[in-house]
Structure 1
């Protein structure tokens, strides 16, 4: 059994350590300016990571397009499955559709794909993250509060950094070495800060009714993985892209779902419970998925 799980240690342990730092930091009541960190990641770290990684990595425009199409297919499948689930169990669609569909492809998905598949996996994962973020802050916000959808979309630096990165890939344009090195340093802060913030956020959320939260979190993981398998089957994907799509699809509900639910007053306590429970459960389900994907550390 030890030999079965030991290859996963280099993949999961960095994620667990960074998230645990956030949990213990909050437990010991150390000061943490979450808003400053959030803005630093969204406005500096993540855009630098997107532009720097996609700009330096030799990825074809065709492969980047495939990752975007695969992600959109995955999200479409997750939407359909989630709608069926919510209707069957008579749960409010506008409250729970968004947290069911949108997984944590940033805070958790990016480091997992990096540690599991290297720089090539991170590049494809960034394509998925960019597509998910753009959809989340446009169509997702439209479901919660349609009046602010365009505002969130065009005000997001993630969207504009993605446009710049896509332009660079399509035009086969390289940044000067000094700019690349600067982006490498700035982008390097994004992943650890996202994971530490995830730990801080989980410690501050209240799960509410345990059984309901557990079942909703389990449903999110099951729906996400089912949508991932549906997408790779529909598009006949194989190789690294298939593995990245499945791993990103299996991530728990994003912490941003709680923030948006709180802002839109869409049952935030229940959404918080889903975020907490799905994240805790993912530390069991994701290692099992990594074994299925043949990750060797």
Structure 2
């Protein structure tokens, strides 16, 4: 039964990617323009609406923030250390971080959390999603734009000017201050946000239609192992230091961290020219492999 429910969550993802794949094979699509539309309009609206409309438990907020940022920093150090051992260049390490350091805690993670742990689990998952969205729109932009020829000042400006970062910070500020969102703004951001996920997944299919998997097999294998095994293992160890064993928070956050690579990373890779074929391929393969890893994790915890 668990496998059937998870397939019901995963299969629509593949159907949307399939539509994009077919369109990409038969039509000439300007992926960068579509990517920019999602990054600058649809995704910020989704982040703002998700945070402002959620019932966040501010008492748990601090520990979830601590977990999300600590896990990211630990994993970044892990990638850096492994890169030193195998003498990977900076571009390869940055691409690997994009392909394995950002979980799909939203459109993939939240439905699974809802099925496994109910509305109480979703409330925790939404806070984690907000932190992951912030990391993708700040650290993710840094890794995607950190080419050898790009000045550090320009990278910093790219990060602080990202609409996703602004939307998240604004929504959090309004939430903490208790300022209500006008109904017109909430409805508008909700409608725009609904376009974000199908746009991202369809664009991913378009990108996959133009790549040659055989050219990036080694990278895909490394990224999938890091994302589906190494990152959840580090999350498990970190959660043991923050939450009591077997707590609902620990279970939800572990599942969120164990989800496959977020589709937003492909958008960033396309926008900033950071090996989008490698990032999108790793995202696709990690999503396929998660059909096995996520049910196993749910059975274990």
TM-score normalised by structure 1 residue count: 0.81
**From 217, 230, 234, the counterpart of 1:223:** 230
In the TM superposition, what is the alpha-carbon distance from 1:67 to its structure 2 partner?
3.0
In the alignment, structure 2 segments of 5+ residues that lack a partner are: 115-121
Counterpart mapping for 1:20-99 below 5 A: 20-27=18-25, 29-92=26-89, 94-99=90-95
In the alignment, structure 1 segments of 5+ residues that lack a partner are: none
In the TM superposition, what is the alpha-carbon distance from 1:158 to its structure 2 partner?
0.7
The answer to whether the aligner puts 1:160 opposite 2:166 as a matched pair is yes
In the TM superposition, what is the alpha-carbon distance from 1:89 to its structure 2 partner?
2.1
In the TM superposition, what is the alpha-carbon distance from 1:75 to its structure 2 partner?
1.0
Q: CA RMSD in A?
A: 3.1
Contact 1:52 1:183 (C-alpha < 8 Å) held by counterparts: yes
Structure 2: distance between partners of 1:240 and 1:260: 35
Change (3 A) 1:106 1:193: farther
Structure 2: distance between partners of 1:44 and 1:72: 25
In the TM superposition, what is the alpha-carbon distance from 1:111 to its structure 2 partner?
0.7
Paired residue for 1:288? 293
The answer to whether the aligner puts 1:127 opposite 2:136 as a matched pair is no
TM-score normalised by structure 2 residue count: 0.80
Structure 2: distance between partners of 1:280 and 1:70: 26
Counting matched residue pairs gives 285
Contact 1:22 1:196 (C-alpha < 8 Å) held by counterparts: yes
In the TM superposition, what is the alpha-carbon distance from 1:113 to its structure 2 partner?
1.9
In the TM superposition, what is the alpha-carbon distance from 1:250 to its structure 2 partner?
4.1
Paired residue for 1:136? 140
Task: Write the deviation string for residues 63-121 of structure 1: whole angstroms up to 9, x where unpaired.
Answer: 333333222111111112212222222222x1222233335788944210232234533
Contact 1:26 1:200 (C-alpha < 8 Å) held by counterparts: yes
In the TM superposition, what is the alpha-carbon distance from 1:8 to its structure 2 partner?
1.0
Contact 1:53 1:123 (C-alpha < 8 Å) held by counterparts: no
